[in-house]
Structure 1
């Protein structure tokens, strides 16, 4: 074996090259190792899930431990005794509905806000839809404003015109502002998701006091990051009896950890706020959907949407369908796999809402 050269006698650029080569090798080895662990999900699923499909009640009881661990993973904030102190400011008064900006107190000086719209002319309490906007958006866009590409189709307005009460909670928008708050949450062992899930739960607490609304018939319908909030909140609040996930449902292991030219992976984009400690220990999308089951769930996804490679997404959907099939509840799960992109489609979702929420 030849004697290696004395590093102190080598040219500086050779040392620089060797330092860089070793670093690249170390990084690639670590990434390959971690990616292989993430993708090799089945052993973790077997270790963490033990579902009982003998009845709906048995199934729900068998996943209670997973539900508790999901709440812990996203760090849902707990109440500190702060009263709601709701405030309503008239925002819009149209022929078919009236809408207000609703503000409630959450924790200390933290407040929750959203637009609440009620249909006119109903003689009975209206079913409720929580219409959750995406990361670069707003409650106003839910109602058809500030949406030049018509991605949202004014779905909040359309729903209230169809006789639903609609609340559109306001989330923090933008990757950088969300990342800043996420860092502070992480210092407390929490996440920004946990604050905003708690906000939605407290909004429901208030809406239960409104005689115009029947909260026992509540759906959550969110797009993009709002679809994530639908997936994340519905398992933790039994008052949400129907869920519609638009432009979010995915093959979560690949979406989070594997680069692919057919879709954007969160691994390679600047979305610090998205990461949840322990997420893929046991909560890929089909498993998280099993915490929504046996409640009705509709997945709305466009084949032209770059967030997902739709054949991979369908694999995850088929795994979700198994939960409903084993319970004999396949009619409660549907998919609207359309030819469009990252957008609300609404028509099939509206039928789904009427089917499960209208008396």
Structure 2
């Protein structure tokens, strides 16, 4: 006898996938998008009131030569203040295109800049490859909100742990689920508020806003871009894959899982909600947690979606010879070009 539960999970995936295929109706891309978008919103759970005033305040301003780093704080909901870094290029004609930078697991917004906990530049750029600096030097304003559960936004008892890799994902997710909310949903809500903040800045061209997300920040970037049509172009690094090949195949953080989402769609179909707007997929050939073969499968599915919309040229990709990391060798300039059109 085999007492393991593997067969049950395999059968559950296969039956659910078959049910989804059977439920597909010949409808327009617009109708498909509207239906799935509704399901995504339901899966993300209850979100706070977006009308809550931001009350943004400038804390500090630092000159880095070719750009200015503004340290800002704003409120996204009652009792919640967010530390935010805004990078503004110098010597550029304004208004400028702007990018929401979504970091992944680690040391919060410091990772996007390649800083240590004291704000000093690290010798090793690490897996983030200072992508926020790449973006601002390309000529874009960059906003980096500290994502809920990381860095300075961990729960108080976890801030006491001397580890930059420590996070509050599990604790936040378990609490939020009991209130009909999800951690992914709350993070997407705050990403949308970051776009609200960008649009409040006179230096920003409100019609030229993009998103650049890495790993867990790719999830936030994908779902935010799907929900918020103010996003003109999106770069997703080290995240686009299939649920079957990644988050259901090996241990991942609880923030990747949405209640009931597999009843509605696989990951490439949800990512396809960004269509027909521009999307760039970047991934490493040797990424161990988002395997490249499944990323390639996801890109194929995404291309079918973009072809249905009649804009296959709006989808581009780069598989670089790295692991779970940001390259930026094509994606950074691609984003600038897309936002400059």
Q: Tell whether the structures are fold-level matches, with TM greater than 0.5.
A: yes
Where in structure 2 are there 5+ consecutive unaligned residues? 117-121, 151-164
Aligned equivalent of 1:219, options 200, 204, 210: 210
Residue equivalent to 1:249? 240
The reply on whether 1:138 has 2:108 as its aligned counterpart is: yes
**RMSD over aligned Cα, in angstroms?**
2.1
Superposed CA offset, 1:167-191 (max 9, x none): 1121122565111011110011111
Residue equivalent to 1:71? 41
Residue equivalent to 2:12? 37
Contact 1:303 1:338 in 2 (8 A): yes
Determine helix, strand or coil for the equivalent of 1:241: strand
Determine helix, strand or coil for the equivalent of 1:114: strand
Shift of 1:49: 4.9
Where in structure 1 are there 5+ consecutive unaligned residues? 1-20, 54-58, 259-264
User: TM-score scaled by structure 2?
Assistant: 0.87
Contact 1:112 1:199 in 2 (8 A): no
Distance in 1 (alpha carbons) for counterparts of 2:36 and 2:12? 20
Distance in 2 (alpha carbons) for counterparts of 1:95 and 1:51? 55
Higher Cα radius of gyration: 1
Residues 84 and 254 (structure 1), Cα distance of their counterparts in 2 relative to 1, 3 Å cut = same
Distance in 1 (alpha carbons) for counterparts of 2:26 and 2:110? 41
Contact 2:210 2:234 in 1 (8 A): yes
Determine helix, strand or coil for the equivalent of 1:350: helix
Distance in 2 (alpha carbons) for counterparts of 1:90 and 1:61? 47
Superposed CA offset, 1:270-302 (max 9, x none): x33332111212231211122111111111001
Shift of 1:248: 0.9
Aligned equivalent of 2:98, options 112, 118, 128: 128
Distance in 2 (alpha carbons) for counterparts of 1:127 and 1:100? 17
Residue equivalent to 2:291? 309
Residue equivalent to 2:307? 325
Aligned equivalent of 2:79, options 102, 109, 112: 109
| Counterpart mapping for 1:275-290 below 5 A | 275-290=257-272
Q: Size of the alignment, in residue pairs?
A: 320
Determine helix, strand or coil for the equivalent of 1:256: coil
Contact 1:45 1:282 in 2 (8 A): yes
Determine helix, strand or coil for the equivalent of 1:208: helix
Determine helix, strand or coil for the equivalent of 1:117: strand
Residue equivalent to 1:205? 196
Distance in 2 (alpha carbons) for counterparts of 1:210 and 1:340? 36
Aligned equivalent of 1:178, options 160, 169, 183: 169
Determine helix, strand or coil for the equivalent of 1:85: coil
Residue equivalent to 1:159? 135
Residues 47 and 93 (structure 1), Cα distance of their counterparts in 2 relative to 1, 3 Å cut = farther
Residues 215 and 35 (structure 1), Cα distance of their counterparts in 2 relative to 1, 3 Å cut = farther
Residue equivalent to 2:119? none
Shift of 1:133: 0.7
Contact 1:39 1:253 in 2 (8 A): no
